[in-house]
Amino acid sequence: MNPYSSLASNKFWRPSVAERDYFSISQVWTPKFQIQKDAAIITAGSCFSQNMGKELQRRGMNWHNAEPAPDSLSAREAFDHNYGVFSFRTGNIYTARLLLQWLQWAFDEVPQSKETWNNGERYFDPFRPNISPNGFESPQAMWASREDTLVTIRKAISSADLFVFTMGLTEAWLNTATDVVYPMCPGTVKGRFDERLHKAHNFAFAEILSDFQKCIDLIGRHNPNLRLVFTVSPVPVTATFTTHHVLTASTYTKSVLRAVAGQLEVSNENVEYFPSYELVASPPMNGVFYNPNKRTITPTGVRFVMGHFFNGISSADQMQQGHSDVSTQSLLPTEDIICEEELLDYYK
């Protein structure tokens, strides 16, 4: 006898991976805490996270749309204005520092930036540059809209049972004068690039771990019962500002984020890691869940990943879909995802 003799088969590569096709791989994720079907769940993060809210609703789970669209907007208009995309109207949150920044603003731990961008006629929020296609008529209108979102974040974090956050990037752009972080490089989606003010930064493991731990600690001060599930987007980066080839830069990004997620899970009893990345990008999957561009995920891939998620959190009788009203917004196609980072493709 030795320590390996009594291990379950899913601890060994041959029986649990090599001898199975990818659709029959099972027991990939067993969360350490139970998630009830009526638990209030909020979602945020990178582009891939947008699938979470849709699937949670489709499966009859209690996804919390904390900042719903006005009744005057159609489903298409609401989506274009970033309502119902995430639980709150922040747009994509690609980095740990940006999540921390939003949380600190929402709970008044640091003053929010009053920076504005304008195109000569309309004003745009530097931290939600794609939130409103036509911008705002004044800085005051922009700040009022952001304040609505900050209030929503505060209320949602304080009342939710589970927060699912999808990690996306390590690379970001900072303002050297104010030290704020942007979701996108100024001058790409909106705004103007100023080489004197705007600096690229590739966050290292220690920085990201520290930022996420600060997020966890801040959340714990306001809702000690909130549990978190971190996952890593399997979508490779669109472009890199580093000196490396985009392939190696993307591998670095996902490797660091995966390592951070693992450390957070070990260090915090209320934190879980869900393996979205492995279920799509690992060698046994043979890349079958990627579209021809070898970046974005097919609808089949999304359903495959989310199937493992729901198998992990729900019992068989909870997995019957259709037990709740699904909003019109959730019926938009799976491929209909708002992803500002993909706009970088325009520049090459």
Three-state SS annotation for 144-199: HHHHHHHHHHHHHHHHCCEEEEEECCCEEEEECCCCCEECCCCCCCCCCCCCCCEE
pLDDT digits (tens, 9 = 90+) for 83-138: 999 999 999 999 999 999 999 999 999 999 999 999 989 999 999 999 998 999 99
Nearest-angstrom CA–CA distance, 28 and 40: 24
Q: Does the structure show a pLDDT above 60 at 315? A: no
Nearby residues of 13 by Cβ (< 8 Å), 6 or more positions away: none
Nearest-angstrom CA–CA distance, 192 and 303: 39
- E-only strand ranges, 214-292: 227-232, 271-274
CB distance 192 to 115 below 8 Å: no
Q: What are phi and psi of 171, to 5 degrees?
A: -85, 140
Concatenate the DSSP letters of all residues of 194-234 into one string: -TTTEEEEE--HHHHHHHHHHHHHHHHHH-TT-EEEEEE--
Q: Does the structure show a pLDDT above 70 at 321? A: no
Nearest-angstrom CA–CA distance, 186 and 199: 10
Q: Does the structure show a pLDDT above 70 at 348? A: no
Roughly how many angstroms between the first and final C-alpha of the chain, as a whole number? 59
Across the chain, what does the average pLDDT equal?
90
pLDDT digits (tens, 9 = 90+) for 218-275: 999 999 999 999 999 999 999 999 999 999 999 999 999 999 999 999 999 999 999 9
* Burial zone of 182 (CB within 10 Å; 0-12 exposed, 13-18 middle, 19+ buried): buried
Amino acid at 1: M
How is residue 113 annotated by DSSP? P
* Burial zone of 8 (CB within 10 Å; 0-12 exposed, 13-18 middle, 19+ buried): exposed
Output the six-digit token pair for 240: 């890199």
* Helix (H) or strand (E) segment spanning residue 103: helix 96-106
Nearest-angstrom CA–CA distance, 247 and 325: 42
- The predicted model gives 21-35 an average pLDDT of 90
- E-only strand ranges, the chain: 41-45, 117-118, 123-124, 162-167, 171-175, 181-182, 198-202, 227-232, 271-274
CB distance 88 to 149 below 8 Å: yes
Q: Does the structure show a pLDDT above 70 at 336? A: no
When pLDDT is cut at 50, 70 and 90, the band that residue 78 belongs to is very high
CA-CA distances (angstroms) from residue 337 to 26, 129, 255, 278?
28, 16, 24, 21
Output the six-digit token pair for 151: 């209030």
Radius of gyration for the chain, computed over Cα atoms and rounded to the nearest angstrom: 20
Nearest-angstrom CA–CA distance, 165 and 44: 5
pTM: 0.90
